[in-house]
Structure 1
Amino acid sequence: MATASELRNLDDDGLREQLQGCYEELFNLRFQKVTGSMNNTARPRQVKKDIARIKTILRERALAQE
């Protein structure tokens, strides 16, 4: 889990790569939940918050460019 200040140090391409990785992890966690092999049940919530952080930073940058 990355903090917002760590994410702000990345460029836009790096943030998009992180976002894609989070989506893939969330997808895999959903399968783990269905199969019953999930160890950390709080992890999906953490990944969703990471996704929200990344999207917020990308949106802030897009608005700043306008």
Structure 2
Amino acid sequence: MKAAELRQKSVEELKGELTALLRAQFGLRMQHATGQLAKTSEINRVRKEIARVRTILADKAA
């Protein structure tokens, strides 16, 4: 999701998005550890999405 789309969301929606991304990251880590993950680039994509959401949350808090 692009940063412009995330900026339009409310703080509650962003927190929900962050929770979903953290769960996805955990699932991807488990798949990677057990050798079931086919696309390892998904881990980096989710990490960047988490950072993007956290940055926008920090901007809205300030």
Same fold (TM over 0.5): yes
Q: Which stretches in structure 1 are left out of the alignment for 5+ residues?
A: none
**Identity of matched residues, %:** 35
Q: Give, in whole Å, the separation in 2 of the partners of 1:3 and 1:47.
A: 13
Q: Give, in whole Å, the separation in 2 of the partners of 1:7 and 1:53.
A: 8
Q: Does 1:24 align with 2:23?
A: yes
Which protein has the larger Cα radius of gyration, Structure 1 or Structure 2?
Answer: 1
Cα-to-partner distance string for 1:23-56 (whole Å, 9 max, x where unaligned)? 0000000110011110111001110100100010
Write out the 4+ residue segments of structure 1 that deviate beyond 2 Å after TM superposition.
none
**Count of aligned pairs between the two proteins:** 62
